[in-house]
Amino acid sequence: MPDPTPTRDPSTLRSARWWAPDDQRSFGHRSRLKQMGFNTEDFQAKPTIGILNTWSEVNNCHTHFRDRAEEVKRGVWQAGGFPLEIPVMSLSESFMKPTSMYYRNLLALEVEETLKCYPIDGAVLMGGCDKTVPALIMGATSANIPSIFLPAGPMLKGCWRGETLGSGTDMWKYWAERQAGNLCEDSWSELEDGIARSPGHCMTMGTASTMTAIAEVLGLCLPGSTSIPAVHSTHARMASQCGRQIVELAWDKVRPRDLLTEDAFHNAIVTDMALGGSTNAIIHLIAMAGRAGVSLTLDQFDEISQQVQVIANIRPCGEHVMEDFYDAGGILGLLSQVKEHLRLDAPTVSGKTLGENLEGAEVFDEDVIRPLSRPVGKAGGTFVLRGNLAPDGAVIKPTAAEERLLSHRGPAVVFSDYADLKDRIHDESLGLTADHVIVLQNAGPIGAPGIPEWGMLPIPDYLLKQGVRDMLRISDARMSGTSYGACVLHVAPESAIGGPLALVQDGDFIEVSVAERKLHLDVSDEVLEERRSQWKPRPKRFQRGYGRLYADEITQAPEGCDFRFLHQGEDDDEPDIF
Ligand code: FES
C-alpha cells in the first residue's frame, strides 16, 4: 500500500541523490543538465519523471508517440515535475522476427535497468503494441519505481467497400477467401489499403486491446484511458493528465508492487474473460504476477472462465471493433457490468479504488457491451485443457471456434516444424479432410524459438475451396489475439524439450472435449514410452548472445515464459553513486 504518511520533502526524492549533494559528482550532474539548457529551477527539488517512450519508425502502432510525449511533458511541468524523455526498445508486432515475444523479456530487462540506473522518481510507460505492454509493466514492477501506463489507444476502424475491417481478424478471413479463389487481386489490394488507417494499435480484441485493458484494471492507468482511440483529442488530453498524475505518484511513493496485488490480478482475469481477450494474456499475466510476487496458475483462469461470460461483442469473438467499444462506454462500461465479480477495493494510480473509478460508469450500446444476461459467449474467453498430450496444460478460445470442433476426435497429421508445415500443408496427396487434426511441433518457447503466433495453422487450400473454414489445430505455439478457429495453443511441456506433443505421429487419434477440458492422445502408455525412448532433442540453435541466454533461461508457457533469473528475489536495487 502507498506510504501512509506521504511527504513532499524534496530530500526524500530518489533523484535528490543525483541532483542535491554539494560534491564533485553532483556538480557534474547539474552542470550536464545545464549543458542541455535546463536551469536550476527546472529540476531542483522536483520529482524527475522518466518518460519511457517506445516510439520508433519501425513501430506502426506508436507513430503518435512523439506528440504524446510532448503532451506528457506539458502535464509534468504543470504539476511541478521535471520530465526527461528516454527512448527504450520498441517491440513492433508487425515487423520483428521471429516474433516480438522473443524480445519481451529483453525490453523488460531494459526498462528495469533504465529505471534503476537513472535519477528517476516516477515513470510514464508509453506502450500499446502487443508485447510492449507486459514488457514495460514487468520491468517497472521489478524496478518498483512509481509508474503510470500511457496506453497507445486503438487505431480507427478499417473499411472496405462500406464494410468494417478489423485488424488481423479480417485479414485472416479474406486471406482464406483469396486462397479459396473467391477474391480477385484488386480487391485484395484494396483491403491492404483500407485495413489500417490511423496511428494506434490493432483495434480488434487482440493482445494490445486486451493487455492495455488489463493494465488499467491492474490499477496502472488513468480510469477509462485504455479505450480511447489513438487519434482522438481526448487521447492527447489523457497524455497530459498522465504527466500531472505521475508527479503526484512520485511524491506519494505509490509503487507498482503496491498496486499489483492478488486482488488486482483476480480483477485482471475477470476482465480478460469478459472481454474474450487474447489467449496471450494468460502468459503475460502469469509473467507480470511473477514480477510482483503473486503466483497465478492456469487453473485460476479456467475457474474464472466458468463464472464470467464474454460480454464484449468485439472481433474476433464478436462483431464490432474498439472504436465502437469506446463509444459504447469503453472499459469502464464493461467493468460496470461485471462489478459483482471484481474486488473493488483494489487501489489504482488515480488515487481512488477500482470501485470508486467505476462510479457513474454506464453502457450506451448494449449490443457492443452486453449485459451478463445476454452474453456473446456462454462462458469466459479462454479455457484450459489437460490430458496426456498436455500434462501441464494448453489453452483454447472456444468463442472463436466452430461449435462442432469443441468436441471432436480425429486422426492427426503431424508437421515437425513450421518450415515442414509450409512445405506440405497444401499438398493434396496428404488427403486431409475437415475432420483431421493438424499438429505442429517445435513451435514453443525453445523450439521456434520465442513461442511465435503460428498457432492459427493454415487450412489446406483444397479444403478452403470445399468451404471448410475451421479445423482442429494443435501446437505449442501462441496465436494472435486477432486470430480465430479451433486452435489448441501453448501445449506444455513443449515438444522441443520432449513434451508428449513430440511423440504424436500421423494417423494417431486425438480427442478434444472442451466441456470436459480434455486433450487426449489415443495411444497407449506403452507405445508412448517406446516412442519417448527413441526421441532425441534437436541440436541447440544458438551458442552465443541473446539466443543462448533465452534458451538457457526461458520458462514454459504456464510459467509465463519469463527468464528464470528475473524471478529471483529482490535485489539491493539502488545504485552506488561515488
Ligand atoms: Fe501493433 Fe497489432 S501490430 S498491436
485: left (phi over 0), alpha (psi -120 to 50) or beta: left
Banded pLDDT at 81 (limits 50, 70, 90): very high
End-of-domain residue from the set 194, 217, 241: 194
Whether residue 171 is found in the same domain as residue 204: no
Whether residue 330 is found in the same domain as residue 453: no
Whether residue 417 is found in the same domain as residue 514: yes
In a domain, 378, yes or no: no
Whether 6 has a pLDDT exceeding 60, the answer reads no
Counts of helices then strands in the chain (DSSP H, E): 22, 14
Q: What share of the chain is helix, strand, coil (3-state, %, to 5)?
A: 40, 15, 45
Give the model's pLDDT for residue 568: 67
In a domain, 219, yes or no: yes
End-of-domain residue from the set 516, 534, 552: 534
- Residue to mutate, 129, 171, 280, ligand 1, most ligand atoms under 8 Å from C-beta: 129
Distance from the alpha carbon of residue 533 to the mean position of ligand 1, in angstroms? 42
CATH number of the domain where residue 405 is located: 3.50.30.80
Ligand 1 atom with the smallest distance to the CA of 482 is 2
Banded pLDDT at 377 (limits 50, 70, 90): confident
Contact 451/443 with Cβ under 8 angstroms?
Answer: yes
Number of domains in the chain: 3
- Residue to mutate, 107, 130, 212, 453, ligand 1, most ligand atoms under 8 Å from C-beta: 130
Give the model's pLDDT for residue 73: 98
Interval 58-75: pLDDT, tens: 999 999 999 999 999 999
- 35-44, 80-89, 538-547: range with lowest mean pLDDT: 538-547
Specify the residue with its C-alpha closest to ligand 1, atom 1.
129
Specify the residue with its C-alpha closest to ligand 1, atom 2.
202
Give the model's pLDDT for residue 2: 52
Distance from the alpha carbon of residue 62 to the mean position of ligand 1, in angstroms? 9
Q: What is the pTM of this model?
A: 0.96
Give the model's pLDDT for residue 130: 95
Which of the two residues, 519 and 2, has the higher pLDDT score? Answer: 519
Banded pLDDT at 104 (limits 50, 70, 90): very high
In a domain, 365, yes or no: no
Strands 48-53 and 158-160: unpaired
In a domain, 370, yes or no: no
Banded pLDDT at 259 (limits 50, 70, 90): very high
Q: How does the average pLDDT of the chain come out, rounded?
A: 95
Whether residue 174 is found in the same domain as residue 61: no
Give the model's pLDDT for residue 44: 95
Name every residue whose Cβ is closer than 8 Å to that of residue 233 and which is 6 or more positions away in sequence: none
Whether 4 has a pLDDT exceeding 60, the answer reads no
Whether residue 119 is found in the same domain as residue 216: yes
- Residue to mutate, 93, 165, 203, ligand 1, most ligand atoms under 8 Å from C-beta: 93
Whether 1 has a pLDDT exceeding 70, the answer reads no
Whether 374 has a pLDDT exceeding 80, the answer reads yes
Give the model's pLDDT for residue 265: 98
Residue 388, helix vs strand vs coil: coil
In a domain, 555, yes or no: no
Contact 457/475 with Cβ under 8 angstroms?
Answer: yes
Ligand 1 atom with the smallest distance to the CA of 128 is 4
Longest dimension (CA), the chain: 80
Domain containing 66 equals 46-156+198-357
| Residue 44: C-alpha distances to residues 71, 315, 344, 444, 576 (Å) | 22, 49, 38, 50, 21
Ligand 1 residue neighbourhood (C-beta within 6 Å): 61, 93-94, 129-130, 167, 201-202, 206, 208
In a domain, 98, yes or no: yes
- Average pLDDT, integer, range 110-134: 97
Give the model's pLDDT for residue 382: 87
Ligand 1 atom with the smallest distance to the CA of 207 is 4
Name every residue whose Cβ is closer than 8 Å to that of residue 9 and which is 6 or more positions away in sequence: none
Interval 472-515: pLDDT, tens: 999 999 998 888 899 999 999 999 999 999 999 999 999 999 99
Give the model's pLDDT for residue 323: 97
CATH number of the domain where residue 77 is located: 3.40.50.2300
Ligand 1 atom with the smallest distance to the CA of 59 is 1
Alpha-carbon dihedral 463, 466, 471, 473, rounded to 10 degrees: 10
Whether 3 has a pLDDT exceeding 80, the answer reads no
Whether residue 315 is found in the same domain as residue 455: no
Q: How far apart are CA 409 and CA 512, in angstroms?
A: 6
Whether residue 164 is found in the same domain as residue 214: no
459: left (phi over 0), alpha (psi -120 to 50) or beta: beta
Whether residue 212 is found in the same domain as residue 227: yes
Q: How far apart are CA 568 and CA 170, in angstroms?
A: 42
In a domain, 241, yes or no: yes
Whether residue 326 is found in the same domain as residue 388: no
Give the model's pLDDT for residue 483: 83
- Residue to mutate, 91, 201, 203, 212, ligand 1, most ligand atoms under 8 Å from C-beta: 201
Whether residue 313 is found in the same domain as residue 440: no
Contact 54/126 with Cβ under 8 angstroms?
Answer: yes
Buried b (16+ CB within 10 A) or exposed e, 472-491: bbbbbbbbbbbbbbbbbbbb
Number of Cα atoms under 13 Å in the Cβ half of residue 506: 6
For 288-430, list the strands marked E by DSSP: 383-387, 390-396, 407-415
- Average pLDDT, integer, range 111-120: 97
Give the model's pLDDT for residue 569: 63
Main-chain phi, psi angles of 532, to 5 degrees: -65, -40
Query: What secondary structure letter does DSSP report for 457?
Result: P
Whether residue 110 is found in the same domain as residue 172: no
Whether residue 453 is found in the same domain as residue 340: no
In a domain, 341, yes or no: yes
Number of Cα atoms under 13 Å in the Cβ half of residue 507: 0
| Positive/negative CA dihedral, 518, 522, 524, 527 | negative
Give the model's pLDDT for residue 5: 55
Residue 492, helix vs strand vs coil: strand
- Average pLDDT, integer, range 360-365: 98
Distance from the alpha carbon of residue 207 to the mean position of ligand 1, in angstroms? 8
